[in-house]
Amino acid sequence: MDKILIHACPQRMWYVEGFLIPSLKEQGLTDIEVACDTEGKGNLVMCMETFAECGKHDGDTWHLQDDVLICRDFAERIDIEEDKVVCGFCHTLFEPFDRPMGGYQPAVFMYNSFPCIRIPNRIAGEFVEWFYMDARHRPNYKMWVESNIHDDGFWHDFFVECHGHDFVWNLVPNLVEHVDWLIGGSTINTWRGYVCRSAYWDDEELVKELAERIRNYKLSQRRKSW
């Protein structure tokens, strides 16, 4: 089974430790690591550091962001032997209108799947080298670099440019739902005035269950402070 790496920020660790990691362990997953930006390095820098570390090892890594809800059969569905990029999330507002629904697709149709994506470690290492040796010096990426975000945008451009003949596996239904609106909203795109949800999520009851658990958790925290 591939390793799971959760990319987190300090303000979301209550959810990671209290909800996300327990849900993974409940499905029998134990090889879990958390990369939390405790030093405030920022989204892009942390992505490159964690991907560089992955690139030192063989195998593959499932990358999860700290604001997702996993499906009930997550562990079963991530047990994949093929050495490919696998996308477990698809943005509800953009992807369905210009990309095929799912299955094996050319690189150009790869979902914007950073909330849940499986990347061979060797390719993660290539990505970091491409960024530091090439992309960050390009004038057209200047604003992205200075903003210290857009890790997903850099990844997409890298993969299409350097692995354009590769196929990826877009999973439908999606493996995770994006639930940032239940845990305080986006920590990066604070300007966003809409909820970014999965285009192919088929278990709304699980979302309702999580919402209730979070409500009870927050209520208990308030009671402790009284």
Q: Angle, nearest 10°, between helix axes 43-54 and 121-133?
A: 130
Q: Which residues contact 173 (CB under 8 A, 6 or more apart)?
A: 71, 200, 201, 202, 203
Q: What percent of the chain has pLDDT over 70?
A: 91
The secondary structure of the chain, three-state, reads CCEEEEEECHHHHHHHHHHHHHHHHHCCCCCEEEEECCCCCCHHHHHHHHHHHHCCCCCEEEEEECCEEECCCHHHHCCCCCCCCEECCCECCCHHHHCCCCEEEEHHHCCCCCCEEEEEHHHHHHHHHHHHHCHHHCHHHHHHHHHCCCHHHHHHHHHHHHCCCCEEEECCCCCEEECHHHCCCCCCCCCCCCCCCECCCCCHHHHHHHHHHHHHHHHHHHHHHC
Mean pLDDT over 22-36 rounds to 98
Domain 3-201 has CATH 3.40.50: no
Asked if the model's pLDDT at residue 147 lies above 70, the reply is yes
Structure tokens at 13: 């660790």
Distance CA 76, CA 209 (A): 21
Quick one: what percent of the chain has pLDDT higher than 90?
81
The predicted pLDDT at position 191 comes to: 42
pLDDT given for residue 187 in this prediction: 52
Per-residue pLDDT tens for 50-66? 999 999 999 999 999 99
pLDDT at 69: 98
Summary mean pLDDT of the chain: 92
What tens digit of pLDDT does each residue of 89-139 get? 998 765 555 555 689 999 988 999 999 999 999 999 999 999 999 999 999
At residue 223, the pLDDT reads 76
What is the reported pTM?
Answer: 0.93
Which range, 95-104, 140-149, 184-193, is most confident? 140-149
Q: Which one-letter amino acid corresponds to residue 60?
A: D
pLDDT greater than 80 at residue 185? no
